[in-house]
Structure 1
Amino acid sequence: MEGDSFSTTSLGISLKLRLSTSLQSCLLAKALTASSVLLSTPRRTSMWRSRRLLMRLTTRSMLRELFARSSCFGTWIMKTSVVAIRDIIPPPLRETFNDVYIAYELMDTDLHQIIRSNQALSEEHCQYFLYQILRGLKYIHSANVLHRDLKPSNLLLNANCDLKICDFGLARVTSETDFMTEYVVTRWYRAPELLLNSSDYTAAIDVWSVGCIFMELMDRKPLFPGRDHVHQLRLLLELIGTPSEADLGFLNENAKRYIRQLPHYHRQSFTEKFPHVHPSAIDLVEKMLAFDPGQRITVEDALAHPYLTSLHDISDEPVCMTPFSFDFEQHALTEEQMKELIYREALAFNPEYHQQ
């Protein structure tokens, strides 16, 4: 496999995509007011087709989205499993704009829609999707960035089975401990350390999410569909078992006391609970769903796991050469300053506007 022609051609895999909706082509985000807006009616161009799509973004989440992709990922993004921005249309008035138009590369649907559909999925489909998620995550983590909101609806697909990670609105750099306490990760894909209010978390939270997503893909239903925070923790402990004292080392004393007062749960056999899943896949998932984040498998080791041997090619799994930092998060920016940052990013995509 070559980095600039990464596809399923040699695998003979494709999706029929018998779905009524297609997503993620030309995206319009009303950033400064965080309200919904509607795209233009469908049209076709040489690069993308516009489709109707609702999207809410705050100004800061838009800045993360733009900075993570343009400043960090650059031209390499087209060779990764991360969805690329094709264009940012500069607002007509630099000082007073409220809307920002962003065009993403065209993808046909997302993994959530596929899982909920009648689309037949083979073992090869699921294996290949997992590989691409990990491949994209390797690049993201190598840029010193945590995604923090991995879920099926943030994984875009086309009919060739190409998968792209999207939505960096909750992304953070790994060293930003000051910003680690806010809401992260949709509940069903949230790692134990987040459920137990650990603020000093790592890239392992994304790995946990991938494990949940993969099992949802294989089982066609969520692995831990918790109704609330407490129910979510109970569901995962019922499967992976009550952690040992050694596995509680990363938690604060309050969290340790809470775990100790819960009923004791024996670990279930993944092989017996999921008999239709390949034993090698079970082994990988168990390593992804380790309670202790320090014992959880890394993305690099997951890519090298025997389950992915047929796909793993380290020469075709790029890393980001320049780690990124969301510098704007370190300052209390005014609305005018945030507008200026967004406008500059738009000009970077369209330098000809600077001459006008």
Structure 2
Amino acid sequence: MSKREYSQDNSDSEEQESTSSNETESTSESDSSDSSSSSSEESTTSSSSEETSEENSSSSEDEETETKTKTNGQVVENKQSFSDGKSLPWMVGKNHTFPVAGTEFTIDQRYQYIKKIGHGAYGIVISAKDRFENESVAIKKIMGVFDRLTDAKRTLREIKLLKHFNHENILCLTDLLIPPVKENFTSVYLVTELLATDLRQIINSEQQLSEDHIRYFLYQIIRALKYLHSGKVIHRDLKPGNILLNENCDLKICDFGLARISDPEEENHLLTQYVATRWYRSPEIILSWGEYTSAVDVWSTGCIFAEILNRKPLFPGKDFMHQLKLITMVVGKPSKKEINSLENEKARKFMKKLPNRKQFDFHKLFPSASEDAIDLLSKMLQFNPQKRITVEESLEHPFFATIHDPDDEPICEETFDFSFEKDKLTKGKLRRLIYNEIIDFHKKKRQTYKEK
């Protein structure tokens, strides 16, 4: 069997399955025209909380506050004017508005617009100069946040997760812009680190990648997953476009709008109706194979690994049936016992009709890969999630022997609480919860500045 029998040309475009989370999520400098699909989410909702009464008041309420910034390597004093006593020490406190891709950006004058770097159904991303920190940032405007409950819940979820995480290989939230009007704001602005590109653009480029490059990329992804999974979080939408890189090949995972709980002791009804990028979707999700686990992220990582090796997607399925055919042609058809364990009757019938196949020879499929790379990849792309290698086991694999450092692979000390997903919320309550998250972010940031 040739490679053409189970794989398609990289020019096949990936189907868009919903109106949220495409290249807008990529806070990289390079423009991208390639669209990827994302979420049609379940109608789960978050719990209500008491609204924080403290406004965004500054620890210094004078009209002028002296701050120190670095300019051209020199520390200089810079007086910044504050408008109404509500501004924070690190904010100018006055907004400026300018057009970007047919919409208005209204952001604090602390940030100087540079250019648009991403545009999709979920929002627009620009690069900007942070005049206070004297560095470049990415600012994402999430538009029409409350047009749909799923969009509002996704926004709340991502804000809470980005505030919770603290890891070198996970995108860092540096600022949340306070809405000018508390009661009826419709957009949310997230400020993050700015990275030069994403893995999708690297794969599609002419740049040569050695196995050391590939090893380092994959190690950082799995290192981040170890942290996420230890905090009981499944990313659920790993794909090259959600993996950002800088010039030093340092890597960060972004886009947590589809993340969910991974604790087997909790009710996993939150994991139903999952729809994300098909090409990286695990068999257990496609087949509704009972309650799925963090193993879905390992499968997605294996798909990314294979795509880096061959510079094209491994399973570019046109629909779920074609996707499963491509998967079984590469990794083999599951056993009769495994097929009979499928809960969905239609899924069982479909899988039984597929021709019997064994795993394709990965040496022929990835001729340039080393023996260790092929061994790890084959263990990541196991059809049965119970047979799939874990992230902890992956880090111990010989493929990472030269860079694996158990003392530098942290876990998340505090698990993330997804209980807010379980209760029904109105758009008004979601607006208050998002506003409270923004205010809480600034309260903690102000406390950090005070301690310094």
Output one character per residue of 1:312-349: Cα deviation in whole Å (capped at 9) or x when no partner. Answer: 11111110111112222111111111111111111122
**Change beyond 3 A, Cα 1:225–1:118:** same
Instruction: Give the equivalent residue in structure 2 for 1:5.
Output: none
Instruction: Give the equivalent residue in structure 2 for 1:269.
Output: 361
Instruction: Give the equivalent residue in structure 1 for 2:336.
Output: 245
CA contact (8 A) 2:339 2:352 kept: no
Q: Secondary structure at the match of 1:104?
A: strand
Instruction: Give the equivalent residue in structure 1 for 2:268.
Output: 177
Q: Secondary structure at the match of 1:161?
A: coil
Instruction: Give the equivalent residue in structure 2 for 1:89.
Output: 177
Q: Which has the larger radius of gyration?
A: 2
CA contact (8 A) 1:42 1:52 kept: yes
Match of 1:159 among 237, 247, 254: 247
Q: Aligned partners of 1:351, 1:121: CA distance in 2, in Å?
A: 44
**Change beyond 3 A, Cα 1:36–1:179:** closer
Match of 1:203 among 294, 298, 306: 294
Q: Aligned partners of 1:89, 1:52: CA distance in 2, in Å?
A: 10
Matches within 5 A, 1:135-146: 135-146=223-234
Instruction: State the shift of 1:253 in Å.
Output: 5.6
Letter paired with 1:323: T
Match of 1:318 among 390, 394, 410: 410
Instruction: State the shift of 1:41 in Å.
Output: 7.0
Instruction: Give the equivalent residue in structure 2 for 1:64.
Output: 157
Q: Aligned partners of 2:408, 2:244: CA distance in 1, in Å?
A: 20
Instruction: Give the equivalent residue in structure 2 for 1:121.
Output: 209
TM-score by length of 2: 0.67
1:21 aligns to 2:108 (yes or no): no
Letter paired with 2:261: V
CA contact (8 A) 2:279 2:317 kept: yes
Letter paired with 1:350: H
Structure 1, unmatched stretches of 5+, are: 1-18
Q: Aligned partners of 1:84, 1:217: CA distance in 2, in Å?
A: 25
Instruction: State the shift of 1:153 in Å.
Output: 0.3
Q: Aligned partners of 2:173, 2:323: CA distance in 1, in Å?
A: 35
TM-score by length of 1: 0.84
Q: Aligned partners of 1:41, 1:296: CA distance in 2, in Å?
A: 39
Q: Secondary structure at the match of 2:385?
A: coil
> What RMSD in Å do the two structures reach over aligned CA positions?
2.7
CA contact (8 A) 2:176 2:189 kept: yes
Letter paired with 2:413: M
Instruction: Give the equivalent residue in structure 2 for 1:100.
Output: 188
Instruction: Give the equivalent residue in structure 2 for 1:10.
Output: none
Instruction: Give the equivalent residue in structure 2 for 1:278.
Output: 370
CA contact (8 A) 1:107 1:157 kept: yes
CA contact (8 A) 1:42 1:51 kept: yes
Structure richer in strand, relative to its length:
2
Instruction: Give the equivalent residue in structure 2 for 1:13.
Output: none
Letter paired with 1:291: F
Instruction: State the shift of 1:39 in Å.
Output: 5.3
Q: Aligned partners of 2:323, 2:126: CA distance in 1, in Å?
A: 39
Q: Secondary structure at the match of 1:350?
A: helix
Q: Aligned partners of 1:35, 1:222: CA distance in 2, in Å?
A: 23
Instruction: Give the equivalent residue in structure 2 for 1:298.
Output: 390
Q: Aligned partners of 2:156, 2:430: CA distance in 1, in Å?
A: 8
Number of equivalenced pairs: 325
Structure 2, unmatched stretches of 5+, are: 1-27, 33-102, 106-119, 146-150, 447-452
Instruction: State the shift of 1:191 in Å.
Output: 0.6
Q: Aligned partners of 1:102, 1:61: CA distance in 2, in Å?
A: 13
Letter paired with 1:206: D
**Change beyond 3 A, Cα 1:150–1:39:** closer
1:228 aligns to 2:315 (yes or no): no
Instruction: Give the equivalent residue in structure 1 for 2:310.
Output: 219
